Structure 1
Amino acid sequence: MTDLATRARTLLDLHTDPEILVLANVWDVISARVVADVPGVKALATASHSIAATFGYEDGENIPLELHLDMVRRVVQAVDIPVSMDFEAGYGDPGRTAARAIEVGVVGANLEDQMRPLDEAVAHVEAVMAAGRAAGIDFVLNARTDVFVKAAPDADRQGLVDEAIRRGKAFLDAGAPVVFVPRLVDREEIRQVASALGERKLTLISPPGAALPASELQELGVARVSTGPFTQRVALTALQDAATDIVGGGVLPATTRALN
């Protein structure tokens, strides 16, 4: 496996390449290996929601950080490509959590702002970036703003777009290389945010039935698209459907492959 600094630089470069970075999020060793073996996969990202669910915890930093980090460490050790971790809002101390993630081999992360006051959210971004510098790596912080996640259903859409841009620019100014805006799915709204933040500065999530194809997002200037908990839900849907079929008198799918 390449050294930490090289993996960090590789991950950073993948966000600025003309080709959009597509990440199918993973949650344990076998999911990491299966995804890493897919041709064209150049990096991995863990999904905090999925890791929590694996151990029976609700999303939202309910899984103990030690347990969360241990699973991420196992993922890092199982593959030879860069790994980014979703450490939610930083478990109360984003800088320290980033340092501990780096210690287990992580070279990038998602950090939620949870719509905290902007100066506080910016300070959290700065703390994470400082942890990366202290470790001697170009840590790839995917600074997340929850403008759309926390918005009321009847909120003014243009106001949300403007606030996402305001917060995103502040995070970029604080050193984050990219900004993550979940639940941003409308083409014109994506165009506005991507244009305001700059080429290859915006990252998105791909919810089933609502997301634009990665090829269109690339044309709009998006740097990265990931899947969050949805890849685990795809796997669990297939499992439950197969169980339903076999319990109902059928058989397992003939297309099943020996991936473990």
Structure 2
Amino acid sequence: MNFRQLHQGPELLKIANVWDAGSAVLVQSLGVPALATTSAGLAWALGYADGNHLPIEEHVAALRRIARVARVPLSADSEAGYSDDPATVAANVMRLVEAGAVGINIEDGAGLPALLCRKIEAIKAAAAQAGVDLFVNARCDVWLKNLAPGRAVEEVLLRARDYAAAGADGLFAAGVTAVADIQALVGGQPLPLNVMARPALPGLAELQRLGVRRISAGSAIAEAAWGRAQRAAAGFLQHGACDELFDGAAPYPQINGALNAANADQS
């Protein structure tokens, strides 16, 4: 099943976002139908802050390393495309496609929705010219950035219709958690709905019942890995706490074996 078909059901597409080739091997070993990157986790792994600070050359190189071990469709979070110029954004996205992406996320952030529309149009035109079926997931940050207090649903629906008209293939309403809001987004616009893991988000069965087509972990798994590593390192440095280093850790042979197997597939 290709990446586009995975958004059409019958199962809710669950994306445990990855940030490097090793995390891709780990997640892929759990039997997922697709991989997708977290822009935050990928930027952090390369020593950059999240938020369109990652040089496109570094992003392309990192995605190419992930694509090397990927055995399922791979989508890339392209943030805001690393430019306000739609033609430059399209060129950047096509570099990610050449590195192995079959889908992308592209976000509006705090910018004008009309700008994201122009970016989507430029991306779809470039993909069509290259003969690529690229799934463009339009990320709407109205909830994440509290851009429309008291009228978030109405604002997201307006943007979703514009993004769909520009050629978007999916709507990523990052930060929405309320059942009534999710219902309104599923029924009020034409795109398959993607939500992001949050403590207050309904469970998987409820999301599927509501008609959500995709759920993403976002940066949560990368944040959990950072937190676990930070606690282990602090305990070791402060107290020489060796036992804590191994509490809950994956065994060395398991990690090394998974990576040996992933690389053996290349031969």
TM-score of the pair, normalised by structure 2: 0.86
What is the match of residue 11 of structure 2? 19
Q: 8 Å contact 1:142–1:177 — kept in the other structure?
A: yes
Q: Deviations over 1:51-94 (max 9, x none)?
A: 11112211111121101110011101111111100010011122
Structure 1 residue 259 corresponds to structure 2 residue 255? yes
Matches within 5 A, 1:39-58: 39=31, 41-58=32-49
Q: Which amino acid aligns with 1:50?
A: G
Q: Deviations over 1:149-205 (max 9, x none)?
A: 2226xx533x1110101101111122111111111111111111111124x611111
Q: 8 Å contact 1:206–1:212 — kept in the other structure?
A: no
Query: Cα RMSD between the aligned structures?
Result: 1.8
What is the match of residue 62 of structure 1? 53
What is the match of residue 85 of structure 1? 76
Q: Deviations over 1:195-222 (max 9, x none)?
A: 1124x61111102x22222221111111
Matches within 5 A, 1:70-219: 70-92=61-83, 93-151=88-146, 156-157=149-150, 159-198=151-190, 201-207=192-198, 209-219=199-209
SS at match of 1:138: coil
* Unmatched tracts of structure 2, length 5 or more: 257-267
* Greater Cα offset, 28-37 or 59-68: 59-68
Q: Which amino acid aligns with 1:253?
A: D
Structure 1 residue 231 corresponds to structure 2 residue 221? yes
Q: Which amino acid aligns with 2:194?
A: T
For 2:92 and 2:219, the matched residues in 1 are separated by 21
TM-fit CA distance, 1:255:
6.1
What is the match of residue 4 of structure 1? none
Q: 8 Å contact 1:142–1:179 — kept in the other structure?
A: yes
What is the match of residue 29 of structure 1? 21
Would the alpha carbon gap of residues 112 and 194 (structure 1) be closer, same or farther in structure 2, given more than 3 Å must change? same
Q: Where is the helix percentage greater, Structure 1 or Structure 2? A: 2
For 2:217 and 2:248, the matched residues in 1 are separated by 27
Would the alpha carbon gap of residues 160 and 64 (structure 1) be closer, same or farther in structure 2, given more than 3 Å must change? same
Q: 8 Å contact 1:98–1:131 — kept in the other structure?
A: no
For 1:28 and 1:256, the matched residues in 2 are separated by 17
What is the match of residue 248 of structure 1? 241
Q: Which amino acid aligns with 1:248?
A: A
For 2:37 and 2:242, the matched residues in 1 are separated by 36
For 1:58 and 1:36, the matched residues in 2 are separated by 26
Q: Which amino acid aligns with 2:217?
A: T
TM-score of the pair, normalised by structure 1: 0.88
TM-fit CA distance, 1:240:
3.1
Would the alpha carbon gap of residues 255 and 61 (structure 1) be closer, same or farther in structure 2, given more than 3 Å must change? closer
